[in-house]
Amino acid sequence: MDSLRPELFDFKGVSMSRYFTDNWENIQNFQARPDDILIATYPKAGTTWVSYILDLLYFGQISPERQTSIPIYQRVPFLELNISFEETGVNLADRLPTSPRLIKTHFPIQFVPKSFWEQNCRMVYVARNAKDNVVSYFHFDRMNKVQPEPGDWNSYLHRFMEGKVVFGSWHDHVNGWWKKKQSYSKLHYMFYEDMIEDTGREIDKLCSFLGLSPSVEEKKRITDGVQFDNMKKNDMANYSTLTIMDFKVSPFMRKGKVGDWKNHFTAAQNEEFDEDYEKKMKDSTLQFRTEI
């Protein structure tokens, strides 16, 4: 399985691996529909969490069997994924029988296929503070055999700061989508830390953006079902059915916390990271919480 690990290379100014660029023409020519909902994130920012919430909001009641038979990564296809032994994300999305279609992407804003804009699709972006994000990404790259070799924590942290990880710079990603939100009204920008603080409140905001009004019981069922411990033991949400991931190295649903970075960063790494962060985020109005 180790031979599956790809190289990182520069693709149109963004560090990428072949698994997300090989199908480029088909991805860029993807035909979005007006009711498609694009769930966009930098990797490890809470994609699965929000995907599962959206899936429950739209289909939890009308097709409960879906919850016990179809893994989340098939219900919400990963648009740019192209691994030879799996169905491509584009094909999966094309064949989705549902309406709306929920589609996942980790693309920076400039890579989003143009038909999503032409169709004026709704988009949900989730951002997570950089420190917890890099820790989560490091453990993910250790256990996921189709990600480049992560190396040791210190070198990984430095590569993350330089944007030399798959999907490129965290700073460019969160800022690019944030800037887009100022001109594109159909983009709902969420924060992982807010979800941890009050999941119910964030579901309410999401519902108001989507024009949904679940009953009190339904909302309670969803809020409970998407709590970390419940998702962790839910085989349709925890990725345990995917063989490219080695859960003995690290589980997909790993900690689900704000502030785990403190268990990884040394004082020196933290200082260096903060200094670099200040420079890269100096023109941004985005505010993140690294503890709550």
Ligand X SMILES: Nc1ncnc2c1ncn2[C@@H]1O[C@H](COP(=O)(O)OS(=O)(=O)O)[C@@H](OP(=O)(O)O)[C@H]1O
Q: Which stretch binds ligand X (CB under 6 A): 15-23, 112-120, 248-256, 275-283?
A: 248-256
Q: Is 46 in the site for ligand X (CB under 6 A)?
A: yes
Least Å from the CB of residue 211 to ligand X: 24
* Residues across the chain: 292
Least Å from the CB of residue 283 to ligand X: 26
Which is nearer to ligand X, 119 or 221 (by Cβ)? 221
Q: Which stretch binds ligand X (CB under 6 A): 6-14, 87-95, 178-186, 221-229?
A: 221-229
Cβ-contact 171, 280 below 8 angstroms: yes
Euclidean distance between the first and the last CA atom of the chain, given in angstroms as a whole number: 39
Q: Which stretch binds ligand X (CB under 6 A): 58-66, 133-141, 217-225, 278-286?
A: 133-141
Least Å from the CB of residue 193 to ligand X: 10
Local structure of residue 208 (DSSP, 8 states): H
Could you say which of 6, 43, 60, 214 contacts ligand X (CB under 6 A)?
43
For the question of residue 139 being annotated catalytic, the response is: no
Residue 127, strand partner residues: 191
Which is nearer to ligand X, 38 or 253 (by Cβ)? 253
Cβ-contact 8, 17 below 8 angstroms: yes
Could you say which of 19, 49, 116, 265 contacts ligand X (CB under 6 A)?
49
Helices (H), 44-129: 47-59, 66-69, 72-75, 89-94, 114-118
Q: Residue 108: is the preceding peptide bond cis (ω within 30°)?
A: no
Least Å from the CB of residue 65 to ligand X: 22
Q: Is 48 in the site for ligand X (CB under 6 A)?
A: yes
CA angle 230, 136, 149 (to 5 degrees): 125
Rounded to whole angstroms, the Cα distance separating 150 from 143 reads 10
Q: Is 45 in the site for ligand X (CB under 6 A)?
A: yes
Tokens 């979800």 appear where? Answer: 195
Structure tokens at 41: 């994130």
Which is nearer to ligand X, 23 or 47 (by Cβ)? 47
Catalytically active residues, by annotation = 106
